[in-house]
Structure 1
Amino acid sequence: MSATQTPVLSEENVSTGSRPSQLRITDLKIANLVGVPFRSSIIRLETNQGLVGYGEVRDGASAAYALMLKSRIVGENPCNLDKIFRKIKQFGFHGRQGGGVCGIEMALMDLAGKAYGVPAYALIGGQFRDKVRCYADTPSEQTASAMGQRLVGRRELGYTMLKMDIGINLLKDIPGTVIAHEGALADYDTMHPFTGIQVTQKGVETLAAYVAEVRSIVGYDIALAADHFGHIALDSCIRIGRALEPYTLAWIEDLIPWQFTDQWRQLTEAVAVPTCTGEDVYLTENFKPLLDAGAIRVVHPDPATSGGIAETKRLGDYAEDKGIAMALHMAASPIATMASVHLAAATHNFLALEHHAADVEFWNELVTGLPGPIIADGYIQVPETPGLGFEGINEELFAQHLDPKAPVLFEDTAFWDGEYANDRLWS
């Protein structure tokens, strides 16, 4: 080429697989899975350029929480992450009701990362770590010996942090340990301060002895948290917390509902064990009362409820300013798990990510393009590939684990195309 010739730009020499400014969402479809470890609805966002993004509605939530948003996001450019989130966040709420908004946000992050050719963590500020520590949740065992042995099994897999379920379910058949009227122990719809359940001194001592035996089996050189204490009121929580102080627990979790900020503050001030809550809170603004009051020592959002990746990153930054670490609750397939990995990689005060599927044999095979196993020696390597980091889903395996009530894989959702309301919140 001579010095006077103008270079010719040709699409033959550049990748045109994605034109971010022209990318548009064309469809939203759902696959309802069971046993992954619980029931989860997998979101697939399709686009006019062939890119596909995946997200996940939180365990136990309704797929309708996402489907009702289809007509509000089709036609949008998924790279406009904040714009779309602001448009749809009014349709989320606490607990599982945040699942639709959050699952869509994960899928948007997957699409935007793929469109720009960067990992999702790059969209929220870059990474602080290249591998993410996981903690293994372990459901309750009736005897401390059995619980200890299960935890040892987790430790042998390489986990450096563990969590066990303990609480009044362990006391129900031991006379003199719990004061409760008929049906109260099985009443999960009544909030803790209103059940009237009391744990006696014998009950407190029984739980403390249980934890002591577990600690003697698993050792004192590994982090161990505790969850699922039951629907008991503040006084019993304080007495249990004080009795567990000698066993150096990483935290005691969700003893009372997150809404009762002052009760959490009283509990935190009364015990020398870190307190932890947050898995059912939606949006940073609703965490602020707990954080501003110094009512907890560890904030524990579930990104599938708290607002997805970017919103939970904002929460982590706010908690850091208050001197509070952020762990992540998670009971999901590898899709929401990998969304949480990118969030954890980009959050400075991150502590650990829950893994609730250590006993699900096929869990690693649900997605493709990740190292196997996904969790190695208790850590997940942060992927450098675009979006959430996996190549795709294992459709054959998905089909084997579809909810029998919704047995079609990514069924057509045209029914939701015409969903409409005047969504404006002002006149």
Structure 2
Amino acid sequence: MKSVLQNIIAETKETEKNYALQRKQETESPSTRSDRRDFLKKTALGGLSISALMGLGMEDTMAETTSKVNKFSAPSDLKITDLRYCVTTVLGRTAIIRIDTNQGIYGLGEVRDGADPRYALMLKSRILGENPCNVERIFKIIKQFGGQGRQAGGVCGVEMALWDLCGKAYNVPAWQLLGGRYRDKVRLYADTPEGKNPEEQKERILYRTKTQGYTWLKMDVSIRDIIDIPGCIVNPEIMKQGSNAYQGGYMSYSNTKHPFTGVQITEKGIEEMAKRVDAIRNMVGYDIPISTDHYGHIDMNNCIRLGKALDKYRLAWLEDMVPWQYWQQHKTITEALETPTTTGEDIYLLENFKDIIHNHAVDIIHPDLASSGGLLETKRIGDYAEEFGIAMAMHQAGTPVSFMANVHCAAATQNFLSLEHHSVDLTWWEDLVKTTWGGKMIEQGYANVPLTAPGLGIELNDEVVKQHLHKSDSTYFAPTTEWDERRSWDRTWS
């Protein structure tokens, strides 16, 4: 009997060897279709085979049968042991954080573009020793240290890293931990490219839509484009205050809320801005949605005047026309216009979206996951808005780490419209990471949702990241022991 079994084992081994060789040759053949190649990879022989088991003793059989089982982590015994960071040059300055554990697995997160990594580092002493799979528990411990806009960057970055860690621990994608997915691909929107002249711009737009495959675009409709045309703006002098258009001192134009600048647009100015939208709409056509942003710090009445002039172009939305805190003004603008309105990229937590959603102050909410509270809180925001008939688009302007966090959240949220990709033309951006499922992050204007890869589905490409560290801080996940000690009593109630 043993000799028969040995013959069967030998024959089976030879059969398996030949079959594996055939699959390998077909997989590597240039003539094999991509879908067939994917099928071959996914269904490759693994785990148990007849030859592997026949004739083995109990101990050997157990070893063989468990050889493919994921033993990467014992989730209930996980503990956070460290939090480190590096600062990239993406969007000027964007920090990536890494949370380490006692079992050697780690999670990646991101502190929103332009925010200080110390927003995350100050949380380290509050999370050391915690089980990273208790994501909601840890979020409730640290959420009091987040604020609006980039002040939420630390809390959100930690939350991203926790979901990445938890997914790796349980060997499932982050979207699965959020309740499952509605889509396998996430639609992206990209900036409308400019050009030296209309002909060059049209050529670049065609490249964006036809070659790169983007089906949703966004453009700026800014009063800065008309500031040098005489008779277009009332009170342009204030716009010159401050060191540049975006920063400046506390009392600069860029730091003065829209109702308080005294800047107005003349009829000529509105005509000039409408001409710019008209030109882009004619280049793009009406099949592709065009969103707009960055109008300038003008008050509600001027927003309405401009919005009415742009209604005929059927824009996808008018974004952040006034600060998000003035939900009553947003509601007045929304009710006056036919074009959808949106706000939300600087709002932290669902509780601060509620007035906007309850009062239908905008038609679309627009959270930035790196400010709104992370993956779970952003899904909650989207789900809550859905109950009131409001859709959700997502603002994103960071590294592939926050990008993929957004992809998982978008996949798990039903009323999602489109996700911003702000680094389309940054040639090395995608190379900052490697996908753990072997596919591409982005194809033809859509992000691929990792269907099987655990966590966020990416790992850093260390050598590429090191090439793009910010000159002000070129350390790479160096020790941060000075943040280990907790020095305050944090409870917010008595």
TM surpasses 0.5: yes
SS at match of 1:244: helix
* Higher Cα radius of gyration: 2
Check 1:153–1:166 CA distance in 2 against 1; reply closer, same or farther (3 A cut): farther
- Residue 30 of structure 1 and its aligned partner are, at CA, apart by 0.3
Map 1:189-338 → 2, pairs under 5 A: 189-338=255-404
Q: Matched residue of 1:183: which SS?
A: helix
Q: Is the counterpart of residue 25 in structure 1 residue 76 in structure 2?
A: no
- C-alpha spacing 1:270/1:150, structure 2 compared with 1 (3 Å): farther
Deviations 1:328-349 (A, max 9, x none): 0000111100000000000000
Residue type matched to 1:89 in 2? K
Residue 398 (str. 1) matches residue 465 (str. 2): yes
Match of 1:81 in 2: 135
**CA distances 1:276-319 after superposition (whole Å, capped 9, x unpaired):** 11000000010011111111011000000000000000000000
Map of 1:122 onto structure 2: 176
- Secondary structure, aligned partner of 2:488: coil
- Of stretches 12-21 and 146-155 in structure 1, the one that deviates more from structure 2 is 146-155
- Distance in 1 between residues matched to 2:358 and 2:99, nearest whole Å: 37
* 1:21-170 matched pairs, under 5 angstroms: 21-34=76-89, 36-138=90-192, 148-156=202-210, 157-170=212-225
**Structure 1 pair 191/212, CA: closer, same or farther in 2 (3 Å)?**
same
Which amino acid in 2 is paired with 1:161?
Answer: W
Cα deviation for residue 221 of structure 1 reads: 1.1
2:367 counterpart SS class: coil
* Cα distance between partner residues in 2 of 1:372 and 1:217: 33
CA shift for structure 1 position 182: 2.1
Deviation at 1:151, TM superposition (A): 3.1
**Structure 1: runs of 5+ lacking an equivalent:** 1-5
* TM-score between the two structures when normalised by the length of structure 1: 0.94
Correspondence 1:335-346 to 2 at 5 A:
335-346=401-412
More relative contact order, 1 or 2 (CA 8 Å, 6+ apart): 1
The amino acid across from 1:106 in the alignment is M
Cα shift at 1:245: 0.8
RMSD across aligned positions (CA): 2.0
- Change in Cα spacing, 1:300 to 1:145, as seen in structure 2 (3 Å) is farther
Q: Contact 1:121 / 1:127 at 8 angstroms: preserved in 2?
A: yes
Instruction: Give secondary structure in 1 for the equivalent of 2:91.
Output: coil
Asked whether the equivalents of residues 193 and 205 of structure 2 are also in contact (C-alpha less than 8 Å), the reply is: no
Q: Distance in 2 between matches of 1:11 and 1:84?
A: 37
The Cα shift of 1:138 comes to 3.8
| One-letter code aligned to 1:350 | F
Structure 1 position 146, deviation (Å): 5.8
Aligned residues of 1:178 and 1:200 also touching (Cα < 8 A): yes
TM-score after normalising by structure 2? 0.82
Q: 1:10 to 1:413 in 2, by over 3 A?
A: farther
Deviation at 1:17, TM superposition (A): 1.8
Q: Which of residues 476, 482, 485 is equivalent to 1:415?
A: 482
Do the aligned residues in 1 keep the contact of 2:392 with 2:417 (CA within 8 Å)? Answer: yes
Give the CA deviation at 1:139: 6.8
CA shift digits 1:66-104 (9 cap, x unpaired): 000001111100000110000000000100000000010
Q: Percent identity?
A: 53
Which AA in structure 1 matches 2:457? G
Distance 2:173 2:412 in 1: 11
Alignment CA distance shift 1:143-1:60 (3 Å) = farther
CA–CA separation in structure 1 for the residues paired with 2:205 and 2:121: 39
- Secondary structure of the residue aligned to 1:182 is helix
TM-superposition CA deviations, 1:25-77 (whole Å, max 9, x none): 1000001001x233110010111111010000000000000000001111100
Give 1:3's aligned residue: none
Unpaired runs of at least 5, structure 2? 1-57, 246-252
Q: Which residue of 2 aligns with 1:182?
A: 237
What is the DSSP-based 3-state SS (H/G/I as helix, E as strand, rest coil) of the residue aligned with 2:92? coil
- Distance in structure 2 (CA, Å) of the matches to 1:90 and 1:147: 46
Counterpart of 1:162, as a letter, is L
Cα shift at 1:238: 0.3
Tell me the matched-pair count. 420
Residue 387 (structure 1) aligned with residue 441 (structure 2): no
Measure the CA separation in 2 of the matches of 1:215 and 1:364: 29
Cα distance in 2 for partners of 1:263, 1:144 equals: 36
Q: Within 1, Cα distance between the matches of 2:97 and 2:62?
A: 36
Quote the Cα distance in structure 1 between the aligned partners of 2:408 and 2:70: 25
2:209 alignment partner, SS class: helix
1:135-194 deviations in Å (ceiling 9; x for gaps):
102477787666554433321210110001121011111110011252335410000000
Supply the distance in 2 between the matched residues of 1:140 and 1:256 (Cα, whole angstroms): 25
Distance 1:140 1:38 in 2: 20
Q: Is the 8 A contact 1:140 1:166 kept in 2?
A: no
